[in-house]
Structures are given as C-alpha cells and as structure tokens.
Amino acid sequence: MKKNYEEYVASMRKIADVNYAAGLLSWDKEVNMPPKGAAIRSQQVATLSGIAHEMFTDKKFVENLETLEKNKKKLKLPQRRNIELSFKSQQRSNKLSTEFVIRNSKIVSEGYHAWLKAREAKDYNLFKESFRKLVEIRKEECELVGYENHPYEALMDQFEPGAKVADLDILFADVKKQLIKFTKKIATYKQVDDSFLKKKYPQQKQWDFGLEILKRIGYDFEGGRQDISPHPFTTNFGSSDVRVTTRVDERNFGSMTWSCIHEGGHALYEQGLPISEYGLPTGNAVSLGIHESQSRLWENNVGRNLPFWEANIDLVKKYFATNLKGVGASKFFKAINKVSPSLIRVESDELYYHFHILIRYEIEKGLLEGTYTVDNLNEIWNAKYKEYLGVDVKNDAEGILQDIHWAYGSIGYFPTYSLGSFYAAQFYAQAKKDIRGLEKQIAAGDSSKLLAWLRENVHKHGGTYTSEQLCKRITGEGLNFKYFMSYARKKYKMVYDM
C-alpha cells in the first residue's frame, strides 16, 4: 500500500497545483485585473478547473483510489482519513452526470443574471422563475447523491460534512428561545453611543491601522499580504501563502477594522495548517463552520472584547486622535458592541446576526421539504423579519434579494455562519480554562499564547477529524449553545450596564 499511497499523494498535489493556479487568477481578478481582462480570465479559470477535474476523474487515479479505499485499514489515521475523504468526494462526483453538471451550470448562470436584474428593480418576481429552477435542481441533486435523514443534509454536507438537521433544529430552537429573549431585554436599557465611529476616518490611516492590528494578532506577512477588494475575503495557495483583502469606508470605522480581524482569523487558520499535508484533505480546513469559528473567535471573542482594546486603545488613538478625543477603552468597547436590529445580514451586530441565519435556515429547509414554495417567498421572508427582528422590510432588494448565495444555487451554506460563532464561544471558553490569565495577557497586548493554543488544538489537525470530533477533543463535548449564551450574557451586561 505504501507505493499506492505515494502515487495518490503525488496526484493530489498536482491537482492542488492546478487548482491553486486557478485560485491565483481568481484572486488577481478581484484585486489587480484591468476591466478588459474579465472575459478571457473566466475562460482561463474554467480551463484550469476543467484540467483539475479531468485529473481527479482520471481512470488510473480512480482505480488507485479504489484500491486504497478497500485496504484503508492498513493505513495510519491521517492517511486513512485522506483516502476516506477523497473517495467520498469521488463518489459524489460520480453520482452527478455530465448532463446534470452542464444543466446546473446553465441554471446557475441564468439565475445569477436574473437576480442582478431583480435586485436592481427591487422586485422578487423577476427572480422567482429562475429561483424555482435552482430549487428544483437542488432537490434533484439531493436525490442523486443521497441522504440518511433529510434532503437538506445532502447539500449541507458540502460545507459542513456530517451535519444533521436534527442537531441544527436544536441549536436554532435555542436561538429562538434564549437569544430573542435576551435581545428584547437589552432593548429596555439605554442605547450606547457609537456616533464617534461614524466620523470621517481617512482611508490611508485606516489602512495603516489595519496592518498594525493584523500584525498584533499574529498574521505572518512573510507568508501573506493584504489588499483592497469590493468584498473582503481570504484565499490561500498553501499555508505559506495566505492572502486577505479588506474594504474601507471613511464614514464607518468598523467596516475595515472588523473585516481585517475577521479575515485575519481565517488567515491564521490557513497559515497554521500543516504544509506537510499540502494538497491533501488533512492539509485543508475541516469545514466552513470550523473555519468560521476561527474568524469569529478573533473578531468577536477577542477583537470586540474589552481586554483587546485595553491593549490597543493607544494605538487606535495614535491614528485617529481627534475623532477619539475623550474616548477610553471602556467607551470604545461599548460603542463597537452596539446591539440594534438591522435589515441587512452583513451589517448586523453579533447577536441579531443569528436571527438572519435562522430565517434563511428555516426557508431553505422548508423549500426542500415542500413546506414553502418560491411563489410567495418574499412575503414569508418579510413576515419572519417582523417576527424575529421586529423590523419592516421596505423592498425586496433589502429583503429576500440581499444575498447572492441563492442566485449561485448555494443552499445549505448559511448555517455554517452561526455554527462558527457557536464553536468560537466554546473554544474560547476552553482556552480560558487552559491558559491561565489569558485575558490579562490579551489586555497586556500579548495574544501569542492563544494563537499557540489554536495552532495545537485546531490548526495542526487540518481535516483529520470531523467538526464534532474536533470539538469533543478540544472541549470534551459536542457543540453546545450554552457557551455562546454565557459569553453573550457576560459581555453585554458590561456593554449595557445591566
């Protein structure tokens, strides 16, 4: 089996090389590419993606993978895990015919353009028929790839492998039962003042400040870089080259700051993955939920907490002395944690954010079950926003058409955002147990021990374990919503002097 496995590794790394080359072209498209390059760039990326697909479905490669799968008990854990995950991916690909892939691509392309027109016109009806086709082909995909308990699991498995609807139902029931009640309680207290965050913050100064913050949380600029893009994202070409992007709004200090810390958290995870496992599943992230846990942990549990700003208030005031005159760490901490319902998911605070995800989860699951149809989905959306957030949706552009995910046919993706926050709270609670005086260290400007803890407990394992297995290894139990609520209650009692 040794020779077979070595051949498998060599093939997987060649496939990774091609995929990362395509990824580099995609990164360049968002950051550097001149406008006229768009048409040919799409062709170049498609060509490389096609080559990678041909390599992954090559007869010789498949036969070797099947041999390894049959003899996987002879392999050690990391090797066995690589074969299991590659074989699973291979099997899923085989269940989707070329005809299905082509048809899906066409429906997604049509759906995206219909969404653009509908969003511009603020009219869901212009997207409805395209969305109907997107939902129907996702239902078809569920049946083709198969599932154990619920069709939604077949789609979720691409983003959060092994996730079960029954478990998500419990989590979101807790959100409805506990978090809604807590936000209503917060609303009875005097609102915090965040007006100083809306003053003009010059772009260059924000940029320089963002670079300093990335350095302070441990981002390695020898193995990465930051650039400007319309939508912040993190991309990697192996753990030694991990890049982040941000955007700057001169009238919203938080826009760049939180995208820097959030994307920095993603990047720290990627930089901590084992380079020895390059191109293999064990060299990649476990899931989107765990990936999101790393960005949310740094953004919220660290970056929006008081100790972090006790350490960094002098730094931010060095760049923006006039805007922050008379603002101490405590006042700054309260302002950046203002809680108020918002119509737009990406503009939401960290508590109301989960109501946005809850609504999308209920709708997606309902579409697959047949509880909902696309016909009056905008009305269902609006009613849920009124029920859960107490806000009125004025038009479809700020309502059901606000996200691009459904236009791309990405159903089953949204829950990973909430899972990330819940995992983050549980991991951070464990880190505080394991690292004596952790928050005192952070308040002194030293988060190195936290990063080392994450490297040891999360990053180095790559995809060796499932999300649930990893959580149990770290905390001794599976994902538990109580850690998020405990974190939220403690923090927001400070913010609102409850």
pLDDT score, position 461: 97
pLDDT at res. 97: 86
pLDDT on residue 102 = 86
pLDDT at 105: 85
Q: Are 356 and 217 spatial neighbours (Cβ–Cβ below 8 Å)?
A: no
* Rounded mean pLDDT, 181-198: 96
For 414-450, the pLDDT digits (tens) are 999 999 999 999 999 999 999 999 999 999 999 999 9
Mean residue pLDDT across the chain: 95
- In 3-state terms, what secondary structure has residue 243? strand
- The DSSP code sequence of 67-80 is HHHHTGGGS-HHHH
pLDDT of residue 101: 85
Region for residue 244 given its phi and psi (left: phi exceeds 0; alpha: psi -120 to 50; beta: otherwise): beta
What pLDDT was estimated at residue 46? 83
The residue with greater pLDDT, 303 or 94, is 303
Give me the pLDDT at residue 1, please. 87
- Supply the DSSP symbol for 461: G
What is the percent of the chain where pLDDT is above 70?
A: 100
Give the pLDDT of residue 35. 87
* Overall average pLDDT of the 110-133 stretch: 95
Q: Residue 235, SS3?
A: strand
> Which residue is catalytic, options 141, 153, 160, 263?
263
How does residue 53 score in pLDDT terms, banded at 50, 70 and 90?
confident
Query: Which tokens is 105 given?
Result: 């691509």
What are 320-371's pLDDT values in tens digits?
999 999 999 999 999 999 999 999 998 899 999 999 999 999 999 999 999 9
Q: How far apart are CA 143 and CA 148, in angstroms?
A: 11
Active site residue 153: no
| pTM over cut 0.85 | yes
What tens digit of pLDDT does each residue of 129-165 get? Answer: 999 999 999 999 999 999 999 999 999 999 999 999 9
Which class for 327: exposed (0-12), middle (13-18), buried (19 or more C-beta within 10 A)?
Answer: middle
Residue 133 pLDDT = 96
Residue 39 has pLDDT above 90, yes or no: no
161-498: CATH topology is Neurolysin; domain 3 (1.10.1370)
Cα atoms found within 13 Å of the Cα of residue 174, Cβ hemisphere only: 17
Where does residue 286 rank: exposed (0-12), middle (13-18), buried (19+ CB within 10 A)? Answer: buried
Alpha carbon of residue 29 to chain centroid: 21
State the pLDDT confidence band at 62, using cuts at 50, 70 and 90. Answer: very high
Q: Give the range among 26-35, 347-356, 395-404 with minimum mean pLDDT.
A: 26-35
Task: Considering only residues 207 and 49, tell me which one the structure prediction assigns the higher pLDDT.
Answer: 207
Q: Give the pLDDT score at 249.
A: 94
| Angle made by CA atoms 214, 216, 220, in degrees to the nearest 5 | 60
Q: What is the pLDDT of residues 251-277, one digit of tens each?
A: 999 999 999 999 999 999 999 999 999
Kindly give, in sequence order, each residue whose CB lies less than 8 Å from that of residue 348, ignoring residues fewer than 6 positions away: 341, 342, 356
Q: pLDDT confidence of 79, banded at 50, 70, 90?
A: very high
DSSP annotation of 193: P
Cα–Cα distance for residue pair 71/87, rounded to 1 Å: 12
Domain map (residue ranges) of the chain: 2-156, 161-498
Separation between Cα atoms, residue 176 and residue 358, nearest integer Å: 8
